[in-house]
């Protein structure tokens, strides 16, 4: 058989694909429903047997949650681009990373994808391959490993590769919860935020997205990774004695990792802590959980409980420090390739 005229396909480049969680395509019922249906059907996210969970998801959760959460997304939506902030920030991180690493030459190609919704991991892998990437670094933008986030990015990547004749050589970046570049970036952003405040915090709440407690008991290292980042951030800033580690965003009736952020901030004024700063180091980009849940719901609950000052430290987003972290990841994980 003679090879076709476009044979061989282009090759020789290295693709770097940054992946974050995903966000709905719009805030009205159907886009919200599609997003939540995809997210909450992922067995890495909800580990309950599908026979028990799917009827609850389709008959109960997906009838009310899309409208409720659509309102929350509306409050944080990037109306100019008509997209969730997670997309806006991830795109900008990718562009700034590409500019930062331009001196390494045009063998590197950068792109971004979302685990749920668009742009998908599969379409971006195919686009990178079409550009000539026969090596691929997938970097999940979760500093702390969790099966519900990091592993599901790997699963989706493997699913895409299963469909390919010429698979790129694959690396998946390691979690970076204790890498000095990441701790330095968090410490700089906390110090910078504190220096801009008109008050001194009595407590610094280090809030993490929660997971069901049994995921942790089954061996997920997430809790240990969060604990280590919290400790290193406390040591690096000298603020360890003021810090409280908490978990937010509970979903469903199960017990999740404790203490809960909302109950903690509600209880602080009664304990004499009326000035509070919250930092959420597990989120590499601002999103619903930081802008609305921490900056809206938790702030409101704290002030209602008698608190006076409440500030949320912005996520690293597309700051210079965030790009330092991404540069460190790419340089480390492509060792031997460039």
260 binds ligand L6N33NVT (CB under 6 A): no
φ, ψ for residue 15, nearest 5 deg: -95, 140
User: Which of residues 129 and 246 has its CB atom nearest to Fe ion in the complex?
Assistant: 246
Of 249, 290, 317, 334, which one interacts with Fe ion (CB under 5 A)?
A: 249
List binding-site positions for Fe(2+).
Answer: 209, 289
What string marks each residue from 56 to 75 as x (binds ligand L6N33NVT by CB under 6 A) or -?
A: ---------x---x------
Applying CB under 6 A, which of residues 77, 112, 182, 222 lies at the interface with ligand L6N33NVT?
222
Query: Which range, of 26-34, 90-98, 246-254, 313-321, touches Fe ion by CB under 5 A?
Result: 246-254
State the Cα torsion 187-193-196-201 to the nearest 10°. Answer: -90
* Token pair 């900008």: residue: 92
Q: Return the H-helix or E-strand segment holding 111.
A: strand 108-116
Which residues within the stretch 19-48 sit at the binding site for ligand L6N33NVT (CB under 6 A)?
Answer: 21, 23, 36, 39-40, 45-46
Q: Does 84 bind ligand L6N33NVT (CB under 6 A)?
A: yes
Through-space distance between the first and last CA atoms of the chain, rounded to whole angstroms: 35
222 is in the binding site of which of ligand L6N33NVT, Fe ion, none (Cβ under 5 to 8 A by kind)?
ligand L6N33NVT
**Of 179 and 209, which CB lies nearer to ligand L6N33NVT in the complex structure?**
209
For the chain, give percent helix, strand, coil, nearest 5: 50, 15, 35
**How many CA atoms does the CB half-sphere of 336 hold within 13 Å?**
5
The separation between CA 28 and the C-alpha centre of its own chain, rounded to angstroms, equals 23
SS3 state at 266: helix
Is there binding between residue 315 and ligand L6N33NVT (CB under 6 A)? no
Q: Does residue 257 bind ligand L6N33NVT (CB under 6 A)?
A: no
């Amino acid at each position: 058989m003679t090879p076709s005229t476009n044979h061989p396909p282009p090759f020789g480049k290295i693709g770097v694909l940054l992946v974050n969680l995903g966000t709905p395509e719009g805030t009205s019922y159907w886009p919200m429903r599609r997003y939540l249906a995809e997210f909450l059907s992922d067995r890495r996210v909800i580990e309950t047997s599908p026979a028990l969970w799917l009827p609850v998801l389709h008959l109960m959760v997906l009838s009310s949650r899309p409208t409720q959460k659509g309102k929350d997304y509306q409050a944080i939506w990037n109306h100019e681009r008509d997209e969730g902030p997670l997309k806006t920030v991830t795109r900008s991180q990718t562009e700034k990373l590409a500019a930062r690493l331009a001196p390494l030459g045009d063998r590197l190609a950068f792109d971004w994808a979302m685990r749920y919704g668009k742009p998908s991991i599969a379409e971006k892998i195919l686009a990178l391959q079409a550009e000539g990437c026969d090596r691929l670094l997938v970097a999940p933008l979760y500093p702390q490993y969790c099966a519900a986030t990091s592993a599901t990015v790997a699963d989706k990547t493997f699913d895409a590769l299963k469909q390919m004749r010429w698979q790129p050589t694959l690396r998946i970046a390691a979690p970076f919860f204790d890498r000095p570049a990441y701790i330095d970036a968090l410490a700089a952003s906390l110090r910078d935020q504190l220096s801009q405040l008109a008050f001194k915090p009595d407590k610094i709440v280090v809030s993490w997205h929660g997971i069901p407690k049994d995921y942790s008991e089954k061996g997920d290292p997430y809790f240990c990774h969060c604990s280590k980042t919290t400790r290193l951030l406390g040591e690096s800033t000298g603020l360890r004695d003021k810090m409280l580690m908490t978990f937010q965003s509970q979903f469903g009736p199960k017990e999740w990792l404790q203490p809960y952020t909302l109950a903690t901030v509600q209880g602080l004024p009664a304990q004499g802590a009326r000035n509070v700063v919250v930092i959420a180091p597990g989120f590499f980009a601002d999103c619903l959980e930081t802008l609305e849940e921490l900056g809206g719901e938790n702030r409101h609950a704290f002030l209602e409980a008698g608190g006076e000052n409440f500030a949320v430290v912005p996520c690293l987003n597309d700051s210079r420090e965030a790009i330092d972290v991404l540069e460190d990841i790419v340089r480390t994980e492509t060792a031997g390739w460039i």
